[in-house]
Amino acid sequence: MAMNFEQARTNMVENQVRPWEVLDSRVLEVIGRIRREDFVATAHRQLAFADLCLPIGHGEVMMKPVVEGRVLQALQLQSTDDVLEIGTGSGYFTACLAQLAGQVCTVDIHADFTAEATRRLQTAGIENVAFSTGEAVCEWQPGKLFDAIVGTGAVAETPARWLTWLKPGGRALIVQGDSPAQQVTLITHEGNGRQHLETLFETDLPYLTHAEPRRRFEF
């Protein structure tokens, strides 16, 4: 029997995302509308709405729907916001950001991710996204400031350079710390060098390239 993707998407929103304290109507509407199944490998389409991190290649994963919902809600995006996404991945989360914000700049170290995400968003009719391929932890520079920054992979420690890309009043949503209990942290730029940090919840994601914890030597 063919899977009813529309019903599966509704069930995902109502039975997974909403019960995980995601109550923002704009976020729920976007997650319920964007065709998540079009952003996963063919072999995983039947699992597109499962409460799982799905592999997308290069050791990377698509975040669980509940985590995506909580992150989107925490960012409190406005229709005029300029957003930077670090880690394009499949392009699904990029599409969600683009529906909530004014403009999205997304960067990924893997050129095949960039190319495939570009194709998927074009197919979905989403046009307010600028794609870049680069290594964002140490090298790539955006050349502008953003209202919001979100990392879709983990970092052992938040790169200080990322926070210099925030406008005053901007916020960064970063998954940081040690696996398997990484902290999803909201960092708000309060101006004059001040930052406010709030830990939201725990999760576990693969580390971005060059953002892994330093090896501990045992004697």
The pLDDT tens digits along the chain (219 residues) read 578 999 999 999 999 999 999 999 999 999 999 999 999 999 999 999 999 999 999 999 999 999 999 999 999 999 999 999 999 999 999 999 999 999 999 999 999 999 999 999 999 999 999 999 999 999 999 999 999 999 999 999 999 999 999 999 999 999 999 999 999 999 999 988 789 999 999 999 999 999 999 876 554
Are the C-beta atoms of residues 154 and 213 closer than 8 Å to each other? no
Q: What's the CA dihedral at 99, 71, 5, 39 to 10 degrees?
A: 70
- The predicted pLDDT at position 2 comes to 72
- The CB-side HSE value for 28 (13 A sphere, CA atoms) comes to 16
Residue 87's contacts (CB-CB under 8 Å, 6 or more residues apart) are 60, 107, 108, 136, 151, 152, 153, 208
Pull the structure tokens for residue 90: 């499949």
Contact 68/93 with Cβ under 8 angstroms? yes
Q: What CA–CA distance (Å, rounded) separates 22 from 19? A: 7
User: What confidence score (pLDDT) does residue 3 get?
Assistant: 83
- pLDDT for the residue numbered 1: 58
Residue 55: how many CB atoms within 10 A of its CB? 15
Q: Which of 51, 45, 48, 46 has the alpha carbon at shortest distance from 19?
A: 51
What was the pLDDT predicted at 191?
83
Q: What is the pTM of this model?
A: 0.95
The label of the residue with tokens 């970063």 reads 174
With tokens 């570009």, the residue in question is 118
Which domains, from first to last, does the chain contain?
A: 55-203 (3.40.50.150)
Q: What is the pLDDT of residues 4-58, one digit of tens each?
A: 999 999 999 999 999 999 999 999 999 999 999 999 999 999 999 999 999 999 9
Q: What are phi and psi of 216, to 5 degrees?
A: -95, 125
CA distance 133 to 188: 26
Q: Torsions phi, psi of 151, nearest 5?
A: -100, 130
Q: Which residues contact 12 (CB under 8 A, 6 or more apart)?
A: 31, 36, 49, 65
